[in-house]
Copies of this chain bind each other. A is one copy, B any other.
Amino acid sequence: MSSLDAVLDRIDHNLDESLERLFALLRIPSISTDPAYRSQCRDAAALVAKDLGTIGFDVRVRETAGHPVVIGKGGDGSGPRVLFYGHYDVQPVDPLDLWHTPPFEPRIATLPDGRRAIVARGACDDKGQAMTFIEACRAFRQVTGKLPLPMTIMIEGEEECGSKHLFGFVRDNAAEFRLDLALVCDTGMWNPHTPMITTGLRGLVYEEIRMRCADRDLHSGLFGGAAQNPIRVLAKTLGAIHDDSGRITIPGFYDDVRELPSAVRAELAGLGLTPENFLEPVGLKIPAGEKDRSLFEQISTRPTCDVNGIIGGYTGEGAKTVIASEASAKVSFRVVVDQEPEKVRDAFRAFVRARVPADCSVDFVSHSATPAILLSPDSPALTRARDALAAEWGKKPIVAGIGGSVPIVGDFKDVLGMDALMVGFGLDDDRVHSPNEKYDLTSFHKGTRSWARILAALAEQ
């Protein structure tokens, strides 16, 4: 039996224990965006650190101005030095009443089509995904007595709030983290049977707008008609972002967006992504993006804008005849290669300011401004990973860019000059960021096996 086969066997054998370790991590409500969960984030970091310590990593929980970063170092040999990146923080769980079971009490559920899945907040994003890599390392350590490559593991706690303190941390310690290749497990499969290597990620510009008009809430009976209403201003502004063809109207927004070569467009079209297989599972039918673009372009290679939240005035039971003094919204842009996040942000702010009546004022808070990234198709690591995944899944992986963003990956390129190989095992129906988030048991198990194969392939001389 080859050493890899032994490692794969060990992964199969370890599965129940691997799940126990994942469940322990899932039980910690490490919601990074909400200050109320600060100590739980530390608990999650401590658990990850302890776990890595048991498989040969030299681990430190490193402080930042926000939630800490877990750094583990281990392995040796002449293979490429890799930096594995994942995150232990999770999204908020609201609306809580839509969860069928409590979000931090992980369980195995059987889906209507027979698949078995781990259900919990973070089951996929990113605790389950990160653990596929860690459990692959564990099996190597158990079988061979050592880690397969010289590696650094970086598990951070602020991905869901834009990794804001990790940027400074990476910059301040650039020499330490400038290795040969970044590995990331925070992306998805093409479908439940087809693996995917993600070679591009859209960037994220995330803005919060606060619109203020009168200096107090007003009675709409007394002031209605005369007083400027911040919800009306906000609605008019947000409603103007897209035109009727789904195109974003912010001046200059598309200036730096490159057209895809027609060969690439044809290849994307050939992937067979359709409204039926992509939108119908979530109750939709009609792509809402630019009408002259394919569905795949809309979600991967074209920039987009979404209002992620809005609130203002009376939102309780029944009716209240109030004109609110302020209203706010959270607005995010997925930006593509060559769009500068700061330029997009400034153009958006100018667009909003131009629509604010003299009687109102607006403030902005930036929650993220990260660029898109793209992995070269000539990367040798890409070729090795492609073969490794094909061996595990019996099917060639899809190699393409996707619409989401992993904020720090842009900095790995910009600051550290390091490419990222992104392989993940999430599925479209994982309800990531939604109630009842899940991660298929197959994703967890074969994901762990996939990383074992990739690590072995990268280690080959």
Enumerate chain A interface residues (CB-CB to B < 8 A).
33-35, 91-92, 94, 98, 160-162, 188, 202, 204, 206, 208, 213-229, 231-232, 234-242, 278-279, 282-290, 295, 298-299, 302, 304, 306-325, 327-330, 332, 334, 357-359, 367-368, 402-405, 428, 431-435
Q: Determine if A282 and B359 form an interchain contact, defined as CB atoms under 8 angstroms apart.
A: no
Q: Which residue of B lies closest to A246 (CB)?
A: B225
Residues of B contacting A327 with CB < 8 Å? 310
Contact of A319 among B222, B279, B308, B320 (CB under 8 A): B308
CA distance A98 to B288 in the complex (A): 40
Residue of B215, B220, B315 near A310 (CB, 8 A) is B315
**Given the complex, which residues of B lie within 8 Å of A359, measured CB to CB?**
284-286, 288
A330-B314 in contact (CB<8A): yes
A324 and B35 alpha carbons, distance in the complex (Å): 23
Interchain CB contact under 8 A, B229 and A92 = no
Q: A286-B228, A434-B216 are in contact. Are A208 and B319 (CB under 8 A)?
A: yes
7 tightest A-B CB contacts, nearest first: A221-B404, A215-B283, A239-B239, A309-B313, A33-B318, A225-B304, A236-B239
Q: Contact: A434 with B218, CB < 8 Å?
A: yes
Give complex CA distance A161, B316 in Å. 12
16 residue pairs from A and B, CB less than 8 Å apart:
A33-B317, A34-B317, A94-B314, A94-B316, A204-B321, A216-B434, A223-B299, A224-B304, A224-B306, A225-B288, A232-B242, A235-B307, A286-B357, A309-B313, A315-B328, A321-B404
What's the Cα separation between A329 and B290 when bound, in Å? 27
Residues of B within 8 A of A433 (CB): 217-219, 320-322
A367: which B residues are within 8 A, CB to CB? 318-319
State how many angstroms separate the Cβ of A441 from the closest Cβ of chain B: 21
User: 7 other contacts beyond A33-B318, A285-B359, A307-B313, with CB at 8 A cut-off?
Assistant: A34-B317, A91-B322, A206-B319, A217-B434, A219-B433, A227-B288, A321-B332
In the bound assembly, the distance between CA atoms of A330 and B306 in angstroms comes to: 22
User: Does A312 contact B310, Cβ atoms closer than 8 Å?
Assistant: yes
- Flag if B279 contacts A231 (CB, 8 Å): no
Q: A34-B316, A214-B283, A357-B286 are in contact. Are A295 and B222 (CB under 8 A)?
A: no
Contacts of A309 in B (CB 8 A): 231, 312-315, 320, 322, 324
When the two chains form their complex, are residues A403 and B222 in contact, meaning their CB atoms are under 8 A apart? yes
A286 partner residues in chain B, CB cutoff 8 A:
228, 357-359
Question: How many whole Å from A306's CB to the nearest CB in chain B?
Answer: 5
Tell me which of B232, B279, B358, B403 contacts A224 (CB under 8 A).
B403
A309-B231, A330-B314 known; A298-B226 Cβ under 8 A: yes
A324 contacts across to B, CB distance below 8 A: 308-309
Instruction: Determine if A213 and B319 form an interchain contact, defined as CB atoms under 8 angstroms apart.
Output: no
Please tell me which one of the listed residues B91, B282, B312, B325 contacts residue A215 in the complex, with CB atoms under 8 A apart. Answer: B282
Q: Residues of B contacting A218 with CB < 8 Å?
A: 282, 433-434
Give the residue name and chain of the B residue nearest to A304 (CB).
B225
Known A-B contacts A235-B235, A358-B285; the reply to A35 vs B403 at CB < 8 A is: no
Q: A99–B229 Cα gap in the complex (Å)? A: 21
**Distance A214 CA – B278 CA, assembled complex (angstroms):** 12
A315 touches B311 (CB 8 A): yes
A219–B433 CA distance with the chains assembled, in angstroms = 6
What chain B residues lie within 8 Å of A232 (beta carbons)?
238-239, 241-242, 306-307
Residues on the B chain within 8 Å of A323, using CB: 306, 308
Q: How far does the Cβ of A374 sit from chain B's closest Cβ, in whole Å?
A: 16
Please give, as numbers and ranges, the residues of chain B lying within 8 Å of A288 by CB-CB distance.
Answer: 225-229, 357, 359
Given A217-B434, A219-B432, A219-B433; A306-B229 close (CB under 8 Å): yes
